[in-house]
Amino acid sequence: MSLVTRFAPSMTGYLHLGHVLHMLYVWGIARAKKGKVLSRIEDHDLARSRPEYEQAILSDMEWLGFFPDLGMTTSNALVPSPYRQSDGAAFYEDKLAKLVEEGRVYGCECSRKEILSNQKKGPGELCYSGTCAQKKLPLKGHTVRFRCSDNEVTFHDLARGECHQMPKEQCGDFSLRDHTGQWTYSFCCVCDDIRHGINLVIRGQDIFSSTGRQIQLFEKLEAPAPDYFHHPLLFNDTGQKLSKRQRSESITQLRETGISPEEVIGRAAFAGGLLSEPHPLSMNDAMALNYLELKGDGDNDSSSILQRINP
């Protein structure tokens, strides 16, 4: 089985050093395993996505030297594409129809405030209690929720080893589409990974908790779930994860200072612990780093698990 992975930025801001570290893992692992990288535009969040972000992100990727084997580039960005989520409504509708036919979804009229009022106190994400599960509300005009299975999901994270998650307890029946008709991240990315043939998802540890629920979606859509590799994140001086919302310094801003691509890549690699000392790093040298040496939590060796994907 040939490896196909993806780089799928959201269109809610510009690339920053955290994205560069992410691209190093994506391209580095793909090149080490003689696989392909697909670039995808995740603009399901129509309220926050901006066309100027798309062009800037694609331009910054190419300036740094991260050219995808498939998908979106600056040369094909001006036309509708199967690699852009805002162009994929028909595909998402088709997959939703399958879940409707099998009774795996239902309409929900609960507001966020109402869900919060039923939330158990303590750490953890917002968890839906299933208030509307038996109300038989129409899907149109209501939030569409996926009926999570009660079972535990066991999977191998290629950096952590064997993992166990209980989506029903973590998040409850989660949203696939909101009451305005806007698709959600979990549903879109699963649908897109199916249609794009993605068999390895490389992403940051901040999305680790969503893995089990997405695997349940793959199962109900009768598609094989990909393998997952969750890599470390970058944090600022105050301990916050670098993010678009925190307005972390963008690659576009760094380019305007006259910095070289090699300097940016070196900064990201050092900040992510891939280099012992900061120094400029060419793409060739960056691809020669060993991204597969990470061990999981416990005795599982991630590199041995990754051998399931043949070069």
How many Å apart are CA 224 and CA 196, to the nearest integer? 12
Task: Give the bridge partners for 261, in sequence order.
Answer: none
How many Å apart are CA 143 and CA 123, to the nearest integer? 25
Work out the percent of the chain whose per-residue pLDDT is above 90: 75
What domains sit in the chain, N to C, each tagged with a CATH number? 4-86+193-306 (3.40.50.620), 90-177 (3.40.50.620)
CB 302 within 8 A of CB 161: yes
Residue 222, Cβ neighbours under 10 Å: how many?
9
263: Cα within 13 Å, side-chain hemisphere: 7
Across 26-40, 105-119, 179-193, least confident range: 105-119
Query: Could you give the residue ranges of the DSSP H alpha helices within the chain?
Result: 17-32, 51-64, 89-101, 112-117, 167-170, 185-195, 211-220, 251-256, 261-271, 283-287, 302-306
What is the three-class DSSP state of 178? Answer: coil
Q: Please, which pLDDT band fits residue 122 given cuts at 50, 70 and 90?
A: low
CB 50 within 8 A of CB 18: no
Give the pLDDT score at 255.
94
Average pLDDT over residues 93-115: 96
Please check the confidence at residue 70 and state whether its pLDDT lies above 60: yes
Q: Please, which pLDDT band fits residue 46 given cuts at 50, 70 and 90?
A: confident
Give the pLDDT score at 295.
39
For the entire predicted model, the pTM comes to 0.90
Average pLDDT over residues 209-214: 97
Please check the confidence at residue 308 and state whether its pLDDT lies above 70: no
Mean confidence (pLDDT) of the chain: 89
Work out the percent of the chain whose per-residue pLDDT is above 70: 88
pLDDT tens digits along 256-299: 999 999 999 999 999 998 999 999 999 999 999 988 764 334 33
